[in-house]
Homo-oligomer: A and B are copies of this chain.
């Protein structure tokens, strides 16, 4: 499913959530960004056009979107997750722990494992996180950095 503002709004309504202008603004901010955005990032971006929207509403909207699996949560080394839409397709991440650079990758399917785990554990599984962390090429070539050593 292609995730646009329109389809997301439809998904909200279908699940009994209201499609408020605040939520639309959050959705648009995420949809228009290539990068993963933290709640504060999102707030900053929409604050320009919509000074009335509070950071709390950003948090609340992200919570709803996460519940509906419409956003993909990224846990970088920082103590604050960031988000993108789960498009154009489900993907996973490669994170540089030095500079924070994030590379998305696709093509690794976990549904088989997911089914096995669901069968064996009795869990109903509805999401997963797969993240590799390391040091990107640029940071490797940067001398003096801790991880550039050895």
| Chain A residues engaging chain B, CB cutoff 8 angstroms | 75, 94, 96, 103, 105, 108, 113-114, 117-118, 121-137, 140, 147
Contacts and interface: CB of A to CB of B under 8 A. Distances in A.
Assembly stoichiometry (copies): 2
Contacts of A126: 133-135
Contacts of A75: 75, 129
A131 B125 CA distance: 10
Nearest to A95: B123
Nearest to A73: B75
Nearest to A127: B133
A94 B108 contact: no
Given A75-B75, A94-B121, A131 B133 contact: no
